[in-house]
Amino acid sequence: MPNGNIIVTEERGTRVITLRRPSKKNAITQDMYREMSRAIDTAQNNPDIRCMIITGGSGVFTAGDDIDDFMQAEPNSETLSDGAKFLYSLALNVKPIIAAVDGASIGMGTVMLFHCDYVLASNAATFSAPYIHLGLVPVGAASLLMPNTMGYQRAFAMLVMGRTFTAAEAHAAGFVNTVVSPGHTEVEARKVARDICRLPAEAVAASRKLLRAAPEELTRRIDQEAHLFGERLKSDEAIAAFKAFANRKKR
């Protein structure tokens, strides 16, 4: 069913969550965060849903937060409430999630991949979490999940230096499972989903739980990062960076 810029469909035990805002490169608004949270949360106790896919369609995954939408929110800790709810939904989720990334994956687009269980990317995909360029810190337990997944040095390059990774580099770093041709990520993701749906559901859930960090550990780090993020929003560095961004938009 269509939910504005988020489309949620179901097929053969798989719920597909599609970001559909092509005019803005699928930049995520607070409304979109709420819709994605709802799609994940309502799957938790539904035995008919065995797996989920998050995709942005062909050509782009997401440009990350819609900065204009973000800047219109109240300038306090509540600014992150919808994004934080989405992150909590990911952290507390018990169903396997597959990501299909074709094109640019920026900010939250990259962070959410580390909460997913299987990631497919086209060889045109790129990955970045450039919070540092806005004078900010990582979010979404990225400071925990990224070093654990790809090692400290690669995490430092992405989170502290703001480096962009290619699909090949992401695959080598271990957070992309498979690289495919552009336009084929969603088709291949559905194949992976069918493989997962054929497996014993209770055994999948138990095995997945053993592999992942405890939800309490994830939410604790999400909260810690959110607190620092809120402080950084008030910093001279962040204020200057957001002003520079606004001035670029006016040109």
In whole angstroms, give the CA distance from residue 27 to residue 20.
9
Helix (H, G, I), strand (E, B), or coil: what is residue 225? Answer: helix
Per run of 10 residues, the mean pLDDT along the chain (length 251 residues) is 80 97 95 97 97 95 91 57 93 98 97 98 98 96 98 98 98 98 97 98 98 97 95 95 82 68
Residues 119-156: tens digit of each pLDDT: 999 999 999 999 999 999 999 999 999 999 999 999 99
Of residues 233, 235, 247, the one with CA closest to residue 83 = 233
Residue 74 has a pLDDT of 52
CATH entry, 6-183, from 3.90.226.10, 3.20.20.70, 3.30.1490.190, 3.40.50.2300: 3.90.226.10
* H/E element, 100: strand 97-101
- pLDDT at res. 188: 98
Delimit the domains of the chain by residue range. 6-183
Angle at CA of residue 38, ends 22 and 87, nearest 5°: 80
Tell me, letter by letter, the H, E, C secondary structure of 170-183.
HHHHCCCCEEECCC
pLDDT of 19: 98
pTM of the model: 0.94
Would you say 167 and 159 are in contact if contact means Cβ atoms under 8 Å apart? no
Q: Determine the pLDDT at residue 132.
A: 97
pLDDT of residue 96: 98
